[in-house]
Amino acid sequence: MSFWTEATSEPKRNFRFQVQITGFDSDSIVWWAKNFKTPSYDVSETTHDYLDNKYYFPGRLTWADCTMTLVDPVSPNAAALTNQIILNSGYNVKGKNTTPSTMGKANSVAAVGSVITTIFNADGVEIEKWTLQNSYLKGATYSTLDYANDELRTIDLTWRYDWAECDHAEETKAAFRDQFRIPSS
C-alpha cells in the first residue's frame, strides 16, 4: 500500500527539531536555533580505463560543513556564547591577555562539547538524532544592522566535524529491517 494513503504514516517535518550544544554554560538546549542544515557527505571516486571502457570505484567519504542560524536573544546572549566558544578554543584577544596562546583542536572540540540535533514526530517522540563528532566552530557571521530592517538579529554558524552519527528510534530501525529484509542484530 502507498505511503500517502495510510492515515497512520507520517513524513518527517522540518520544523520538529531541537539543537543542543553541550559546551554552552547555560542550558544546552538551544531554543533560539532558527534552522540547522543536517550533515551531508560526498564520496570521491577513482576511475580505471581498460581498453574502450571506463570503470568507477568509490573513494573516500568526506563530511560537509553543517550550518546553523541562531536568533540572538538578549538573554541568553547568543553572541556572547558564540564568542566565548572561540575564547575557550584558545583564541587570544589582542591587548586583553599577556599569555600567548593559539587555537588547537582539543580545546576547540572541548569548548563546543557536542552538537546534537534531535528530530521529533507529531507526539514529541524522538525519531532521529544527529551528533557531530569532534566538532568545532569554523565560522560565525552576525547579521547586518540596519535601521530600515525590523527583523530579529541572527548569527549564522558553520560547524566542522570529523564525522556524524545518526541514531534512529527502534521502530524506525525495525521498519527499515522489515522493508529490506535485513536480519536484526
Distance (Å, whole) CA 35 – CA 19: 9
Task: Give the integer Cα–Cα distance in Å for 100 and 84.
Answer: 17
> pLDDT tens across 125-183, in order?
999 999 999 999 999 999 999 999 999 999 999 999 999 999 997 765 555 555 556 66
Residue 84 is placed in which grid cell?
Answer: 566565548
Which cell numbers in the block locate residue 2?
Answer: 502507498
How distant, in Å, are the alpha carbons of 1, 22, 71, 126, 146 from that of 172?
18, 26, 32, 11, 46
Closest CA relative to residue 81, chosen from 130, 143, 21: 21
SS3 call for 128: strand
The fold of 3-180 is Pnp Oxidase; Chain A (2.30.110)
Question: In the prediction, which pLDDT does 36 show?
Answer: 96
Structural domain boundaries in the chain: 3-180
Q: What is the pLDDT of residues 19-55, one digit of tens each?
A: 999 888 667 888 889 999 999 999 999 999 999 999 9
